[in-house]
Every structure is written in structure tokens, then in C-alpha cells.
Structure 1
Amino acid sequence: MIAPRPLLRVPPFPGARVNDVAVRGRGGAQASPAACVRALRQHRVGGSFWAAQPALDPDRRLVARPASAVQAEAMLERARAEKTEHKLLFWLPAALSWRPTRSSVPCVNDPCDPWHMLAHAEMLWADAADEAMLIARIAGGAVTPFGAGPYAIGTAEALVARHVVAGLTYIDPFEGDESDALATIELLGGWRRLIDSNRAIGAAVGFARWKRETVEPLLWNGSDRVRFVPANPAILSELAPGESLAIWKARVPEAFLAAAEAAPNDLHEVEDGFIRSIGLGANCVPPLSVVVDPVGVHYDPSRPSALENLLEHATFDAATRDQAARLRVAIRLSGLSKYEIGSGALPRPGGARRHILVPGQVEDDRSVRAGGGTVAGNLDLLRRVRALNPDAFILYKPHPDVESGHRAGRIAEAETLSLADLIVRDAAMSQLLDMVDDVHVLTSLAGFEALLRDKPVTTHGVPFYAGWGLTEDLGDVPARRTRRRSVDDLIAAVLIAYPRYLDPLTLLPCSPEVLVRRLAGGARRQNEAIVSWRRLQGALRRTFSRIGATA
């Protein structure tokens, strides 16, 4: 007899390179069966929990799950005899092609999320060897087993001890280390929340082809490949009621954006995450982290966002704050920033003078246009910082996308040095943040990274981290932001609760800690030919720009 598949399984994320988290054989680390039952009920994982969640008739709460056509006929006859046929709904395995004759009883075919089906059921009739029977007993639902099988009798705790804990070794899919059932349930629970948050996404627009491999697993709805489509207004009429559109707004025409915002379907705005990659998006290095915001976008202070709502309303428990504190240490020790990694202490070129870092930005970036307020670009930012700090040693670091030649925001060197003491091009952002005394930003993520390193930050625009009591704010911070937060609260929201991360090795969605370890170890995910070509394009643009400036 073939042993049944382990209950705890990896969803088939697009492109994923790991298939199993449980191996039959010797039992590995033992988790408490009672704790596992509680965790399974909380996270609703086990079986094909990622599968479709079909609409179900609210009057048909007697769910029948036959293993064969003979068993299906027996179930139908029993319902007729008990006069419950009007309540019956058949939930059929994918391999069973049976259909009821002389009956209007509806059928739903796998693949289906078993937890969705069982939440609908007031009673489950199922074969005693069917995984659905095991899940129903774990969930505490009313069941009637048909035939003989391993799940015919037993309490939830006893069945979990026998079929989930004993005789299985669990493996951490990211590190390959031995794990246990409880930790695996927690991991699957995170994947369940990710997949459930994507179920409404009907299409995705504005995603460059080179981004799709790493973004698709983070937008996958558990059933279908992500439908990447061109920014054609016709797609808006193809979305069903209740479906949403995932959109990378910077990559779509204004006319389409206006039509999408006027359409009845919700928009889920996608942007790079805050721990992105080693390498620039402008060089076509795909993101390993994104944010998906159904409320607004985090860098636009004119309207709320899911991140702002988290910071204003969420309560983080002690475990999450501890996780945030550990993550902060890991990031600092790794020398990681959004696009790069650096290590080693830098000398202080200004001696005993107070050192202030001013990070440049892409001047036509949506975050600058939305949150830059009255500051008229990088040169104006430098003027303001110098006016406030006439005696400081000011270091100006141009934005890497501007330096690469792909984006707007370049300042002539002579103009820069009339306000700044030093232009820093080669040092990593993390090294600079460790060396300087203060950081002045427009809306740059460098201000958030400085807070992770306990540096004083002055904001001249309105970035997402302004207004929570952690920064000196010179911009017009929205009155909505009233909560006072600690740095670890900020990390819990910004790096743990809000973004999504992809492991570049397994192509599985992962925790921020896994991605930090991967990037610190040099792991990358990019098409070297495309990246090299974009770097060459940038070098040519820089050359022509210098020629034009001196002509």
C-alpha cells in the first residue's frame, strides 16, 4: 500500500525549487501534538490549502467527498433515504469523473482548498482514508466516515500525533536543517496569508518582463499563473466584480492610470520593497522584495496607505518586537542597505566637525513628486541643509540610479561642492551611515536606514517614517500620524508586516531574515546579459551628459 502524502506540503509556487518539507522515515524533532492541533486550526494549513476557493451554495451544507463512483452512489442513496438530498453538495477528487444521474445535486471538483470546503460544511461525509477526513477531524467538524481507513476514528490530537508528528522528519526549506511539525505549520501559515491576500488579483499591469520571475511568486493566488497584461484599457472591462488589479504605476501611461483609478475594481499598488537586491532596478536587477498596498502607496503623504495604517493602529506583541530588534542587529552587522552591501569603517574626512550625510534622489521619481513638498530637487535640498548647518562637514551621495546614467537628478560637480564638502560615490550607504553624525533627507530610504543605526534624522519632505516621533520633521506631516513609535515598532511594520520577500535560491517566499542572510552571503537573481547592457547604456548616457555640459 502506498503511504499517503504528508499533510504538510509546500505550495507549488511558480518557479519554486523545493517540493517537500516532510520526509517519511525516522521521526525527527518531536513537536507537541496538542500545540500542532492549535496551530493547524489557527493557520488553516495542511492539504492543498493554497487551492481554489469556489463560491458555494449556502443551502447545501452536507458535503460529500467520495473516493469512487460506487461510494458516491452510496452517499447519494443515503441522502435520499434521509431526505437530505436538498442539502447535499458533492466535492469530488480530481481523478473522479462521476456525475449524479437523475439528480440536481451540484458537484465541485478539486483542486479546492479543503479548509474552505470544510468551513462551509455542517457535516462531511468522506472516505475514511481521504485526507479531507483527517483535516475535518483536526478542525473539529462533524464527520461521517465511509469505509475503513486510518482516519475513521480518533481524536484530533491522536490523529496529529500519529499522522503529522510521528514517523516524519521536517526540513527547513531555506537552510536544509532539521525542523519540526510546529515550525513547519508556522511557515505554511505565512504562505497561506500571502496566498489569501492575492486571491482577488485578476491581472497585473506595468511589470517589466525582467521583474516577473521574482515578482510572480509574491503575487500568486494559489491556483493560476499571474496574468501579466499590457496597459490596455480593455483589460479593465475584463476584470470580474470583486477582482483587483495589481499595478506598478510608474510603468503605465497616465491615461491608463486615470482609467484604472476610475474603474470599480480595486487597485493593489506594487512597489520595490525596502530590502531589495544587490544591484539597481535601473540596471534591470529584479527585486527580491515588493510591497503590495491595497489602500494607497507608502510614499504619498496626501492619502493613507496600508503601511501608515499599520503604524497608526497596529499593536505589535513582544515576540514581534523581539524579532524586529534581532532583524535590526542582523542588518547592521551585514552592512546591508536597499541596493548594496558594504563593510568596514570609513575615516572621518572632516575631522572633529559634525558630519552630515545628504543622500541625493531621483528627482522625477514618484516618491519625490509625492512627498518632496516645496523642496525643488537635490540642489535645493543641499542649500537648505547648508543654511541650517553652516559649520558642518556635509557629504553628498548622489543616488545610484542617477550615477548610473539612467535617471534625472544630476548636479554639476562645481555646484555640489559650493554647498557640500565632499561628494561620495563609491562608499556603501551602510558605511556612510555608520560614520556620520546626522542624516538630512528629502524622502530617501536612507533616513529609515539611519534610524536603524540610531542616527538623528531630519526630514525635509514627508517620507513614510516621518511623523512618528523618531525624526525631526521640516515637511508638512499629515495630521493623521499621531502615534509615537519606537524604532523596533517601525521595523516591525516596515520590514516585517508590510513587505513580501523572495529567497533568490529556492524562489520561495521567505522571511526578511532569510533574505538578509542570502544577500549578505552574495546570493543574487538577475539576467547578467541584461544587467551588463543596462550598465553600458548608463555609461554612454553619462559620457554624453558630460560632453553636453562642457560644450
Structure 2
Amino acid sequence: MAKRTAGFISKGIGSITALAEFLREFDDVTRIRPFSPPPSAVIGWGLKPTSRQARRYAQRHHLPYVALEDGFLRSLGLGVAGYQPHSMIVDYSGIYYDASRPSDLEQWLSANEFSTEEVLRAEHCMALLRRYRLSKYNHAPDRPLAVNDATVLVVDQTAGDASIEYGNASAASFSDMLDQALARHPHGKILVKIHPDVIAGKKRGHLTSALHHPRCQVLSEDINPWALFDQVDDVYVVTSQLGFEALMAGKRVHCFGLPFYAGWGLTQDRLHCPRRQRSRTLAEVFAAAYLRYCRYVNPYTRQPSTLEETIHLIADQKRQQERLRGTWLACGFSSWKRRFIGDFLGPAAHVRYQKALPQHAVDSQRLLVWSSRIDDAFKTRHRELLPHIWRMEDGFIRSVGLGVDLTQPLSLVVDRSGIYYDPSQPSELETLLNESAFSDDLLARAAELRQRLVALKLSKYNVPGASDVVLPDNQTIILVPGQVESDASIATGSPDISTNSALLKVVREAEPNAFIIYKAHPDVMSGARVGKLDTDAKRLYDLDASHIDITALLERVDAVHTMSSLTGFEALLRHRRVTTYGLPFYAGWGLTHDAMHCPRRNRTLTLDALVAGTLLLYPSYVDPASGQLCNAETVVSLLERAKLQQSSAQKPHLTWKQRLYRCYRNLLIGSH
């Protein structure tokens, strides 16, 4: 495409850099003042008042006006709450909510055909939206409604919504709509959805008269639209996008304005648009609106995305948010951890911090504690509180850098049942792996994520190390990863073999002719944690690879023998043989050779099912720049970028705070 300069009047969607990701055919995106050189197109925000200057400029200079709008699947939360858009519309003809003239969307539906592949893709994406119950915004609670016998939903809109005027409707359209709903359903109760700000007096609506009607039940709380669809058979709208989502939910939709989805034979229409002459299937309208008309970008990586990837990202955000919604009392956390704990609990969580646990539990109270604090003495001391305690721990794809060096995590796990490294009781991860029905699309995501982790050479901490290692060609090569011996994962998960020296001894006895590589844990190498070998153990291995990158080793070895190290899981990702001497979370599912047995783990898993439960469903992920929930794929992209930046630096170094903290930790350990 020829080089073009775009003039733009911004509308608070974030940086021009972020906007440029949606406008890739424009080589330069500038603000409307000054123009140098003159633009060949002017860009503004739809037909909103903020775009008047851009539209006038375009008209005065006989330039095309390109309209931008949020896409139909925008984000987890609202723009005013700081959520950047995942999707955006770029329309060269009009805009979808303006029925007075054709938009790009209307022209495609009027004149274009859709391939079988496009229709199948549309049907698949609609099925995903139904499964994950996604709407334009997804911050509202998704819970059953306390509604009695209402089978009809009437949807209000706030006064001044541009789609009302440009959809050939008015305030009278809403009164007509409510009257018609009452007349057509004379014996049923009518559920009327009114914006919360209307009831609060912050905005004006159109259906406040329903508050006093005996057959109307007004709902003003913020609620997921799919919870409304669960209750009703018929949905009445003027121009709300909720009407199109109701079509996806299989409801009869009655339109009293001209939204983009009216006039194609899918809705019961009060008005007529003479330009819309064709009948279209729901999949065709969806393909035009969501696949052709919208553009998608991951707002955290600033990289182009697809609708499917956007659905999975927002669905993961919504799932994490809903699971952790509510009030929390976080006890005993350092000031450093308090900086990010609230982010991992999500925007619907309300967190209060205190140093010690309360004396007595409150039934509705959820207590959050860092998992390593919960030992036998803790359980005895706080026996009454245990049913209320949720445990928090580092996730499996954590950071570029060590936690002991105060590197902020990108993933944490929050577990109400136990914790993944403690097999003495079930954890939520164990329950997920035992009971989840892993869908085909989830397994496909897991396979792609696994392959990407291997290709990018990512691990938990991504600490830099050498990559060159000389190994023999004629021996079985076994990697023995060292662990922090004071770690709770060994105390609870590896009672028989509990030191690195004992592990090396049992491996050498089992594999007397193998070439054994030992790699000390990074925290032990840093001097911050306990786990050094005794003198005799140093004779049991053939190569000390403590300074070699773990991913470089996993590419070369035949097998990994471990107590309970995450390295065993990372070896499985690369199809290496893994022997466990404890009971890590990945043992007992038919993928490893295990010295111990857990009778609760009674299911054989595929590798991708293990990855899906462990990396996609169990942890919480956060983008550190925005503090917003994200997902595993996004974190992998962020880590990829961080590793590239790290490798381009001349020499990795610790900040002064990290050096000071490391000295502090080492002195404390040395004093014990």
C-alpha cells in the first residue's frame, strides 16, 4: 500500500504507539495539528463529538475521513478503568452504528460472499464466546440472578448514546419498546435492564418508568449479559450490542432501532433499512463484524493478534477475576510482596494487609498466606483458621531473574485446598488434573505453548548461563538438578530422599555407567539458600554444570532424575525421560517413572493435558507494566522480550537493592 500520513484526534485510548498497532497500513500516525506534510486521510473517533474537528478538516480539504471505534470484544474492564482495547474498528466508509449511510460492514453484508472456511471459523468463535460467556466488556460478575418467572428482557441505554440517534431511534423508541413487550407478553414478568449509573442519578436513561410497573422487575446491578440470557427467551433492544450477543445465545431478538445486525432476517425489526435487502445467517454477520471488520492486538505485548487469541486472553482474565473476586485479608507479607499481590488477585478483589493472622475466623473471610509459612507448627497453632486459608506461591513461568533477588514475578498460584508441591493433601492443581475435561482448543493451546517454551528456551527463572557444554557420545547422560534443601517442597514432597547429596548417591547406584551432570539450584549458587553438596557427593557426578543454562542442558541429556524439582516438568516438555524420588505435581500421571505413589492420582494424562492444567488453568498471570491480569501466552511473549533485552546487555547485573538484599539473606543463613 502506498505510503500515507494519518491525522488523528485522540479519544483517550492510550498512546499513539498503541494505536499504531491497529493502523498498520499507515506508515505514520500524527495528531491533527500541525500537519507536515498534509495527510491523505484524516482519522477520528467515529461520529463522537471528539471527532468533529477531524471530520471538518477532512471535509474542508476534500480528504477521506477514516472512523475508529472500539471493537465488539474490547477488554476485560472499562476504558475509564485503564483497560486498553484488544480490538478496534477501522471504517473507510462510515461507522457500523450509523444507519443513515453504508459502512464497510454493511457493504460486505450487502455485496460480498463468505467462504466455507470463514463461516466455519465464525461458528467456532461464536462457540468459544458462548462457552466463556464473553461480552464487549467483561468486568461484571457472572452469577445466577434472583429473578422470578421473567422470560422477557428489555434493555435500556443511557441518554446520549450515539448509536440511538444514528440508529434512527429516539427516546420515544424506548417507551414504544417497553409497551410492545408488555403487550406481546401479557402474562409474563418483564425483566428491564437499566444502567447502574441511571439508578444512581449519574446518567439519564429511558426506562425508569418501569420501576413503578407491577409486571416489570428492574435490574440495575452490573451483571454479565449471559446471566441475563440464562433467564429469558425474548430480548428487546433499540440499538444495543447486547442484542447481537443475545442472537449468539439463541434468543429471539426484537429491534426498535437499526443496529448493524438488524435488517438481515435474524431479528424482529420495528424499522426498515431499504439498503439491507439480503438475508444473512448469523455466522455470516458474525464473520463480517468480528472477523473482517475488527482488528485485534494484544495490549500487553503490543503485537497483532487474532480473534481466537483475543477470546482466550480475555476468557483467561475473566476466569481468574471471577475465581478470586471478593474480600481478602493478606497476612504476614513483606512490603515488597505487597506491591504486587493485589494485582494477582485481580480487579474484583479487595485486599487488606496485616502482619499477623486474626485470632478467630469469620465465615466469609478468606485469609491469604505465603505457602512456605504453613508448616506443621503453623497448622497446630492456627488449626481453627485452616479452612479459611488460601496459599500463595510462585508460578511455573516466573520471571527473568530470581525471587531471592527481588525480581517481581509474572505468575503466582493461589490455592484454596493445599499447594502444588505438597502431596500430603490435595491441591487445586491435583484436582484440576484429576477431574478436568480438557477441550480440544485448550489442548491445542497447551501444545502450542509447550512448543513455544522449548523453542524460546524458557524456564522458570530464565537466569543467564553458558550454553556450550561438551558431553560424551557413547553414554547415557543424566541430569540431576539440585534443589534448595530447606524448601517446603522437599520437606513435604520428598521425605525419603531429602538432600542433594542423597539424591546423587541413589542416582549413581541406579545408573553406575551413566554420565551424570549435576546442576546446583540458582538460589544456592547465589549464596542465598541452603543446598551445597557434602565432600563425598562430589565424587558421584561427572560434570558440574551449575553455570550452564538449564535449557541448554535439557536439550542434550537423555534423562532427568530429581527429588521434586520443576526441572523434571521442563524435561517432560522436551520429551525427556524423568525419574522422580519424591512426589512432585507432575508425577503419578503416567508420564514419569516414580519411586513413590499417590493413590489420589488415578488418571493417566497426556503431556498436553498436564501442560493445560499446570500452565494455562492453575496459575494467575500479571503484566507487570499495567498490573493487569493476562495469560500464559502473553507472559511468554513478555519473557521472550525480556530475555532479548538481557542478552543484548553487555553484562547482566543486580541493582543495588538486589545486592543489599542478597547480602542480608546470606548473613541470616550463615548465622543459623
TM-score of Structure 1 vs Structure 2, range by shorter chain:
0.7 to 0.9
Pair 446,68 (structure 1): closer, same or farther in 2 beyond 3 Å: closer
Please point out which of 616, 641, 647 is paired with 1:521. 641
Unaligned stretches of 5+ residues in structure 2: 1-46, 49-67, 93-103, 109-113, 160-170, 202-207, 267-281, 647-651
Q: Please provide the CA RMSD for this pair.
A: 4.4
CA contact (8 A) 2:467 2:549 kept: no
Deviation at 1:231?
A: 5.7
Partner of 1:50: 139
Moved more, 28-37 or 399-408: 28-37
Choose 1 or 2 for highest CA Rg. Answer: 2
Q: Which residue does 1:24 correspond to in 2?
A: 90
Deviation at 1:537, TM superposition (A): 3.5
Equivalent pairs, count: 540
Whole-Å separation in 1 of the counterparts to 2:401 and 2:557: 24
Letter in 1 for 2:84: V
1:199 paired residue number: 325
Q: Conserved in 2, the CA contact under 8 Å of 1:269 and 1:294?
A: yes
1:137 aligns with 2:247: yes
- Residue aligned with 2:585, SS: coil
The offset of 1:9, in angstroms, is 0.7
Q: Which of 321, 334, 347 is equivalent to 2:456?
A: 334
Which residue pairs with 2:226 in the alignment?
115
Matched-pair contact (CA < 8 Å) for 1:359–1:441: yes
Q: TM-score, length-normalised on structure 2?
A: 0.67
Instruction: Tell whether 2:359 aligns with 1:227.
Output: no
d(CA) in 1 for partners of 2:221 and 2:653?
A: 42
Return the alpha-carbon distance in structure 2 between the equivalents of residues 303 and 353 of structure 1: 39
Change (3 A) 1:486 1:534: same
CA distance in 2, matches of 1:452, 1:525: 25
Assess if the C-alpha contact under 8 Å between 1:438 and 1:457 holds in 2. Answer: yes
Structure 1 equivalent of residue 77 of structure 2: 12
In the other structure, the counterpart of 2:659 is: 535
Query: Could you tell me how far 1:282 is from its partner in structure 2?
Result: 1.6
1:488 is displaced (CA, Å) by 3.9
| 8 Å CA contact retained: 1:201, 1:245 | no
Question: For 2:515 and 2:357, how far apart are their aligned partners in 1?
Answer: 52
SS at match of 1:292: strand
Query: Is it true that 1:464 corresponds to 2:569 in the alignment?
Result: no
Larger relative contact order (CA 8 Å, sep ≥ 6): 1
Give the C-alpha shift of residue 136 in structure 1. Answer: 2.3
Indicate whether 1:67 and 2:161 are aligned: no
CA distance in 1, matches of 2:439, 2:212: 56
SS at match of 1:358: strand
Cα distance, 1:535–1:455 mapped onto 2, change above 3 Å: farther
Contact preservation (8 Å) 2:498, 2:563? no
Aligned-pair CA distance for 1:232: 4.7
Specify the SS of the correspondent of 2:529. Answer: coil
| Residues 462/265 of structure 1: CA separation in 2 closer, same or farther (3 Å cut) | closer
Whole-angstrom CA distance in 1 between matches of 2:343 and 2:622 = 8
- Deviation per CA, 1:404-428, whole angstroms, max 9, x where unpaired? 333333345x354254455443222
Return the alpha-carbon distance in structure 2 between the equivalents of residues 182 and 512 of structure 1.
15
Spell out, residue by residue over 1:79-128, the C-alpha distance to the aligned partner (whole angstroms, 9 max, x if none). Answer: 888897993444221342366675686643353322222323344444x0
Partner of 1:494: 614
Contact kept in structure 2, 1:248 and 1:271, CA below 8 Å: yes
1-structure distance, mates of 2:617, 2:569: 16
Q: Secondary structure at the match of 2:642?
A: coil
Task: Tell me how far 1:493 sits from its aligned partner.
Answer: 3.3
For the residues of structure 2 that align with 1:402 and 1:506, how far apart are their CA atoms?
A: 32
Q: In structure 1, which of residues 369, 380, 384 is the aligned counterpart of residue 502 of structure 2?
A: 380
Q: CA deviation at 1:251?
A: 4.7
Compare 536-545 and 356-365 and name the one that shifted more: 536-545
Distance 1:152 1:483, change over 3 A: closer
Q: Is the 8 A contact 1:345 1:435 kept in 2?
A: no
Counterpart CA distance in 1 for 2:380 and 2:217 is: 42
Q: CA 1:245–1:346 in structure 2 vs 1: closer, same or farther (change >3 Å)?
A: same
| Deviations, residues 350-389 of structure 1 (Å, cap 9, x unaligned) | 7866544322222222211111122242333233334434
Tell me by how many angstroms 1:213 deviates. Answer: 5.7
Give the TM-score taking structure 1 as reference length. Answer: 0.80
The letter of the residue matching 1:66 is D
5+ residue gaps, structure 1, are none
CA distance in 1, matches of 2:306, 2:530: 51
Using the aligned pairs only, state the percent identity.
30
Which range moves more in the overlay, 138-147 or 111-120? 138-147
2:230, 2:132 → 1: CA distance?
Answer: 13
What SS does the aligned partner of 1:282 have?
A: helix
Q: Which residue of the partner structure matches residue 94 of structure 1? A: 196
SS at match of 2:76: coil
